[in-house]
Amino acid sequence: MFYPHYAARACAALSFVASVAFAAPVGAQVSAAPVTASDLAKIQDSIQAMRVLYEERINSLEQKINALEQRNAQLARQQATPPTAARASGTAEPAASTRVTGATGATGATGATGATGTQSALGRTPVPVATQSPPPSSLVRGITLPKIGPLTPEISVIIDGKYSAQSQNPETLGRGFVQSGGENIPRGFSLGETELALAGTVDNLFRAEARLVLAQYGQDFNVSMEEAFFETLGLPVGLKAKAGKFRSTVGYLNNKHPHEWDFVDLPLVYKAFFGGQLNNTGAQFSWVAPLDELYLRLGGELGQGMTYPNGNNYNENKPRLGTVFAKLGGDIGTESSWLGGLSYVTSSTGNRPRSSVLNDTDTFDFNGSTSVLIADFIYKWSPNGNASRQSFKLQGEAFWNTQRGSASISSPNTYVSCEAPCFGNAYINTQSGFYVQAIYQFMPNWRVGYRFDQLYGGNSSYGFSAETITGTALEAFNPTRNSFMIDWANSEYSMFRLQLAQDTMYGPGKTNNQIFLQYVMSLGAHGAHRF
Amino acid sequence: MIFSNACRVIGLAAVALSMAMSATAAQAQLNVFATVPEWGALAEELGGDKVKVYVATNALQDPHRVQARPSLLARARSAQLMLATGADLEIGWLPLLQRDAGNPNILPGKPGMFEASQYVQLLGIPLSVDRSMGDVHAGGNPHIQTDPRNFLPIARALTDRLIVLDSANGSFYQDRLRSFLFKWQASIDRWTTIAQPLRGEKIWVQHDGFVYLNDWLGLVQVGTLEPSPGLDPSVAHLSAVLQRQSQLQGRMVITAAYAGDTASKWFSEKANVPLVVLPFTVGGNKEATTLETFFQNTIAHLLQAR
């Protein structure tokens, strides 16, 4: 049940409150030829000279205004008592005009010589203390440097390239879990995803981000819309709304972009239960509690549900994906901080069954509901809270996945004890898994890390006979993976990583020994990273 | 159904809580969030018991590399005044607080957002900016707190702002400002006199964080140990710097307490010049506990090394 009238009224009130805000210009960088120190000094001098010039001009304009006001007052008096005031106004006029030209003449002189004196003068010039609220324009006073392209959004391109050697074919079907395109990294050189992002404030109330991804699919590159959303800036009392296509805030790693990951690939729980990261078209609403010591954020999302674990819910009135999440975090002394979360995802396939790969030739359709419960935590430590030399990070997430409904195999092949199309009995899938990882930065720019992944097949029954699912994606299995990495970052904008891993996702006797070399290069504006 | 109900409950709870908040805020102190210790100390000088100051970082943390950790979001949520340096110093974390804390009072351009660097003449403004130059700030060098003269216009502007936000205590803030300016000007004069022998002294710095100090005391910076701002120098680079020392004849090497002294210690030993670890801000060492003692201690260290 929705409450449109309630929402509309709330929105009107909120936008009224927020309408006082005005957007600040987005900084852009000035580019020019290389310079020497003397050039620099010259430029600084000329900027100072410009300031003096502008200040003088403002002064002269103020004087002009004063003169005009006086004249107006005199004219008003003149109208009241015409004969005597006429002479007074006649003398006032030339006096005012000489004052103005005098000020303009002084401007030239100060502009030429006054540059050196500005620094000390600025420090000591008494500024009158305001006795009442001044208008907003006087709030930002002092030096505002001219910026080129203040209306240009932040633009960034992130190149994420890899070389990999693996003992198994990464295109092999995983065992025990309903895989759904978990983005396995191909062998040899590959480019993964090259990301082009545009971000910035839309106006005083909204901020928007668009993220295009040039992804390598087999031999081809496709452009896809990874994210495109807006979010509110001006809602009061900790509220925030967001709409568009975006990575869900559930879990910890779900809304982190690949260049922020500590390993080359996602944890197995994300691959098995979300087929990557949960990313949907919809809307989000969240609230930050007014607690001083603790960070508490509650929120929920409504998504159309067009990818796994949904079916293709495109062109349906009813959105079929919902999430709620709670995050709690804080500090322990000055050296440590932590963040924990609980999230719940629910979805249903509605009238559009989800088709998943069963084996090399066949697929099966699932009709029903999926729910995922996620618990996550992260703990960070650094000496004195200064993470630039040394730091440590411990992070983990656990997923509980439940699917209920029915499934059918459509295949030209005849399955043992099941004629095509093969309808199964009740489908109950209760699987779970977790990962835990530790990252240690032992000196500036260098980090090492270890990650352990575990999935549990649980007591799942898909409604098919054991013979039917033997050797398919549904055959019960508990995979594990051990990953070790070391990375070196020359700056915030470039990073190289070596990762070694042993993955048993492909089933018994098919251990995949992996080696990855990765580079991440960030061009342009690089937005601040979340905790 | 579950969701809209949940949303409704959350919404109602939020409204109720916020009403409770604003009711108490009427009599309470002004909530000030300072990004770095120097502005926290200044806010306390000027606001006295009328303000409640939270300082997000300490003097041993690199202000460029602070994370927007959950506790900062929690504090930013209820801040009525956000005090920052600006000039891109906090660019890696402050925008996230403004975006995610759900507090429109601290958005850029709002009375609740105060950037100290807007009230002083910035130095070291680069003509061109390129990432190959390292962590260069396009707007100018943001380490304005190393020159006490900068505190005069900032104190005036900050008082203006306090009065805008808390007009009921207007005369209180004006009195505090008057006594601060009087005291501070006297201190500047005293420090400037004491530090007279430092004029023209040649110095090396590890990070280019002292341009305002140099400008004030007349120190002559012959170079930086960092190859470019924010990048740690390699031994090879330091050796090259050491070779230039024979011509440049720097008399001491200066670093900030937060930055670590590995590079400057190496240089100090090889070049046989004293190493000076300056507090850089309030809390940078045991003596520098207030704005006053921060500058006192800075000058004492420099004079001692001379």
Looking at the domain assignment, is residue A135 inside a domain?
A: no
Tell which of A95, A119, A143 closes a domain: A119
Query: What was the pLDDT predicted at A26?
Result: 35
Contacts of A21 in chain B (CB under 8 A): 104, 107, 109-110
pLDDT for res B20:
47
Looking only at the bridges linking them, the beta strands covering A321-332 and A336-348 are antiparallel
Asked whether residue A239 falls in the same domain as residue A102, the answer is no
Interface of A with B in 28-57 (CB under 8 A): 29-35, 39-40, 43-44, 47-48
Q: Which residue of chain B comes nearest to A7, CA vs CA? A: B8
Q: Indicate whether A412 belongs to any domain.
A: yes
Mutate to test the interface with B, among A239, A441, A495 (most CBs of B within 10 A): A239
pLDDT, tens digit, for every residue of B173-182? 999 999 999 9
Residue B139 has a pLDDT of 83
Enclosing H/E stretch for A348: strand A336-348
**Pseudo-torsion of CA A223, A225, A227, A231, nearest 10°?**
130
CB B136 within 8 A of CB B224: no
- Residues A113 and A160 both lie in one domain: no
β-pair partners for A324: A300, A344
Say if the Cβ atoms of B69 and A27 lie within 8 Å: no
Same domain, residue pair A364 and A454: yes
Please report the domains of chain B, with CATH numbers, ordered by start residue. 27-190 (3.40.50.1980), 196-305 (3.40.50.1980)
Tokens read off for B228: 């470019």
Which chain B residues are Cβ-neighbours of A133 within 8 angstroms?
163-164, 167
Query: Is A427 within a domain?
Result: yes
- Residue A13: pLDDT above 50? no
Quick one: A102 and A162 in the same domain?
no
Q: Find the CB nearest B58 among A126, A334, A389.
A: A334
Q: Which residues contact A415 (CB under 8 A, 6 or more apart)?
A: A409, A422, A464, A467, A468
d(Cα B112, Cα B99) in Å, to the nearest integer?
A: 14
Question: Least CA distance to A523: which residue of chain B?
Answer: B131
- Residue A238, min C-alpha distance to chain B (Å): 4
Task: Give the residue-averaged pLDDT of A379-385.
Answer: 94
More confident residue, A53 or A272: A272
Whether residues A115 and A173 share a domain: the answer is no
Asked whether the beta carbons of A384 and A395 are under 8 A apart, the reply is no
Residue of A2, A14, A43, A129 to mutate, interface with B, max B Cβ within 10 Å: A129
Q: Kind and range of the H or E element at A72?
A: helix A37-80
Q: Which of A96, A119, A142 is the last residue of a domain?
A: A119
Question: Taking a contact as any Cβ pair under 8 Å apart, which residues of chain A between 73 and 112 contact chain B?
Answer: none
Rounded (5°) CA angle A435-A438-A441: 155
pLDDT at B301: 96
Do A91 and A226 share a domain, yes or no?
no
Nearest residue in chain B measured CA to CA from A296: B74
Contacts of A132 in chain B (CB under 8 A): 167, 170
Specify the DSSP class assigned to residue A530. Answer: B
pTM of the predicted protein model: 0.78
> Domain containing A186: what range?
154-524
Query: Are A111 and A249 contained in the same domain?
Result: no
Residues 6+ apart with CB under 8 A from A70: A92, A96
Matching residue, tokens 């024979």: B246
Question: Is residue A111 located within the same domain as residue A163?
Answer: no
More confident residue, A508 or B222: B222
Q: What digits encode the pLDDT tens for the residues B19-45?
A: 444 444 445 799 999 999 999 999 999
Closest Cα of chain A to B164: distance in Å?
Answer: 5
Are residue A365 and residue A244 in the same domain, yes or no? yes
CB A145 to CB B139 under 8 A?
yes
Q: Residue B202, exposed/middle/buried by CB under 10 A (0-12, 13-18, 19+)?
A: middle
| Among B107, B146, B178, B180, the residue to mutate for chain A (most A Cβ within 10 A) | B107
DSSP conformation letters of A457-514: --S-B-SS-HHHHTTSTTS----EEEEEEEEEEEETTEEEEEEEEEE-TT-TT--EEE
A5 in any annotated domain? no
- In this complex, is the C-beta atom of A296 within 8 Å of any C-beta atom belonging to chain B? yes
> Looking at the partner chain, which of B8, B71, B127 has a beta carbon nearest the beta carbon of A43?
B127
Q: Where are the beta strands (DSSP E) in A28-143?
A: none
Q: Which of B77, B92, B122 sits opposite A290 (nearest CB)?
A: B77
Nearest CB to B17: which of A21, A39, A290?
A290
The pLDDT mean for chain A works out to 79
Name the residue facing A292 among B74, B138, B156 (closest C-beta).
Answer: B74
Tokens 């390129």 correspond to what residue?
A: B130
Asked if the model's pLDDT at residue B148 lies above 90, the reply is yes
- Determine the residue type at A208: A
Q: Do A61 and A161 have their domain in common?
A: no
Report the residue from A34, A47, A288 with minimal CB separation from B73.
Answer: A288
Q: Position of tokens 């489908």? A: A427
Identify which of B68, B110, B129 has the shortest CB distance to residue A30: B129
Query: CA-CA distance, B97 to B100, in Å (whole number)?
Result: 5
CA distance A235 to chain B (A): 7
pLDDT tier for residue A122 given thresholds of 50, 70 and 90: very low
pLDDT attached to residue A7: 44
User: What CATH number is attached to the domain comprising A187?
Assistant: 2.40.160.10
User: Is A10 contained in some domain?
Assistant: no
A105-119 confidence digits (pLDDT tens): 333 333 333 333 333
| Residue with more model confidence, A227 or A139 | A227
* Contact call for B118 and A337, based on CB within 8 A: no
Task: Quick: pLDDT tens for B237-289.
Answer: 999 999 999 899 999 999 999 987 889 999 999 999 999 999 999 999 999 99
pLDDT digits (tens, 9 = 90+) for A136-190: 333 333 344 444 445 678 899 999 999 999 999 988 888 888 865 556 899 999 9
Comparing A20-29, A245-254, A459-468, B205-214, which segment has the lowest mean pLDDT?
A: A20-29
- Residue of chain A with shortest Cα separation from B98: A233
pLDDT at B224 over 70: yes
Nearest CA in chain B to A36: B127
Write out residues 102-161 of B within 8 Å (CB-CB) of A. Answer: 102-104, 107-111, 118-123, 125-131, 134-135, 138-140, 149-150, 152-153, 156-157, 159-161
Angle, helix B37-47 to helix B291-305, in steps of 10 degrees: 130
Quick check: B172 and B165 in contact, CB under 8 A?
no
Domain contains A372: yes
CB contact under 8 A, A39 and B127: yes
**Of residues A91 and A347, more confidently modeled:** A347
Among B1, B120, B129, whose Cβ lies nearest the Cβ of A29?
B129
Place of tokens 């506790």: B71
Residue A421 lies in a domain: yes
Domain count, chain A: 2
Whether residue A333 lies inside any domain: the answer is yes
Write down the pLDDT at residue B294.
97
Same domain? For A93 and A228 the reply is: no
pLDDT at residue A502, as a whole number: 96
Tell whether omega for the bond before A309 is within 30 degrees of 0, i.e. cis: yes
A50-96 tens-digit pLDDT: 777 777 777 778 777 777 777 777 776 666 544 433 333 333 333 33
**What does the alpha-carbon distance between residue B208 and residue B139 come to, in Å, rounded to a whole number?**
15
Contact across the interface for B156 and A20, Cβ inside 8 Å: no
Inter-residue contact A493 to A521 (CB < 8 Å): yes
A172 lies in the same domain as A233: yes
Tokens of A329: 């975090």
Buried b (16+ CB within 10 A) or exposed e, B64-77: bbbbbbbbbbbbbb
Residues 360 to 399 of A: which have CB under 8 A from any B CB?
380, 384-389
Q: pLDDT band for A425, please (50, 70, 90 cuts).
A: confident
CA distance B70 to chain A (A): 5
